[in-house]
A and B are shown apart, each in its own frame.
Chain A
Amino acid sequence: MTSGIGCRDLVVRAGGRTVLDVPSLEVVAGTTLAVLGRNGAGKSTLLRALALLAAEREGTVLLDGTPATRQRVRTAVAAVLQRPVVRRGSVRHNVASGLLLRGHGRAKAHAAAAAWMDRLGIAHLAEQQARSLSGGERQRVALARALAVRPRVLLLDEPFAGLDATTRTDFVADLRAVLDDPGLATVLVTHDRDEAAALAGCTALLVDGRLRQVGPTSSVLDHPADADCARLVGFANVLSPELTGLRRTVVCRPEHAVVSAAAPTRKGALVVAGRLVRIVPLGGITRVDVTAGRDGDVALSGLVAGEVPAPLRAEEPGAAVSVSFAHQHLRDVPA
Chain B
Amino acid sequence: MDVLVEGFVEAWRLLVSGDEGIWAVTALTLQISLAAAALAVLLGVPLGAAVALHRFWGRRLVLAAANTGFGLPPVVVGLFVTVLLWRSGPLGFLGLLYTPLAMVVAQAVIATPVVVALAATALQQVDPDFRPQMEALGATRARSFAALLGEARLPLLAASMAGFGAVVSEVGAAIMVGGNIEGETRVLTTAAVLATNRGQFALAIALGLVLLLLAFGVNLVLTFVQQRESLR
Contact = CB atoms under 8 A, between A and B. Distances in A.
Interface residues of B: mostly helix, strand, loop or mixed?
helix
Interface string B135-151: 11111100110010011
A88 B151 contact: yes
Interface of A: 48, 51, 53, 74-75, 77-83, 85, 87-89, 97-98, 101-103, 129, 145-146, 149, 151, 155
Nearest to B232: A129
A79 B131 CA distance: 12
Contact of B130 (A74, A77, A85, A89): A85
Given A87-B147, A101-B144, A101-B147, A81 B136 contact: yes
B123 to A, nearest CB: 14
B92 interface: no
Contacts of B136: 51, 53, 77-81, 146, 155
Interface string B215-232: 000000000000000001
15 contacts: A48-B132, A51-B136, A53-B136, A77-B138, A79-B133, A80-B133, A81-B132, A81-B136, A85-B129, A88-B151, A101-B144, A102-B139, A149-B137, A151-B138, A155-B136
B132 A53 contact: yes
A129 B232 CA distance: 7
Nearest to A85: B133
Nearest to A90: B232
A81 B143 contact: no
Contacts of A97: 137, 147
A103 B138 CA distance: 9
A78 B135 CA distance: 9
Contacts of A48: 132
B138 A98 contact: yes
B149 to A, nearest CB: 12
Contacts of A51: 135-136
B232 A83 contact: no
Contacts of B140: 74
Contact of A149 (B135, B138, B232): B138
Contacts of A145: 137
Nearest to B147: A101
B136 to A, nearest CB: 4
A98 B133 CA distance: 10
A129 B132 CA distance: 22
B127 interface: yes
Contacts of A98: 137-138
B148 to A, nearest CB: 10
Given A83-B129, A129-B232, A53 B147 contact: no
B138 A81 contact: no
Nearest to B146: A101
Nearest to A88: B151
B134 interface: yes
Contacts of A87: 147, 150-151
Given A53-B136, A88-B151, 20 more contacts: A48-B132, A74-B139, A75-B138, A78-B138, A79-B136, A80-B133, A81-B129, A81-B133, A81-B136, A85-B129, A85-B130, A89-B232, A97-B137, A98-B137, A98-B138, A101-B134, A101-B147, A102-B138, A129-B232, A145-B137
Q: Would you list the 7 A-B pairs with minimal beta carbon distance, nearest first? A: A79-B136, A101-B139, A98-B137, A85-B133, A102-B138, A74-B138, A81-B133
Interface string B178-195: 000000000000000000
A65 B138 CA distance: 20
Contacts of A102: 137-139
Taking each of A78, A85, A149, which has the highest tally of chain B beta carbons within 10 Å of its own beta carbon? A85
A98 B143 CA distance: 11
Interface string B144-177: 1001001100000000000000000000000000
Contacts of B132: 48, 53, 81
Nearest to B144: A101
B44 to A, nearest CB: 22
Contacts of B135: 51, 53, 74
Contacts of B138: 74-75, 77-78, 98, 101-102, 149, 151
Contacts of B147: 87, 97, 101
A102 B140 CA distance: 8
A51 B138 CA distance: 10
Contacts of B129: 81-83, 85
A163 B139 CA distance: 28
B143 A101 contact: yes
Contacts of B127: 83, 85
Contacts of A103: 143
B151 A146 contact: no
A81 B127 CA distance: 12
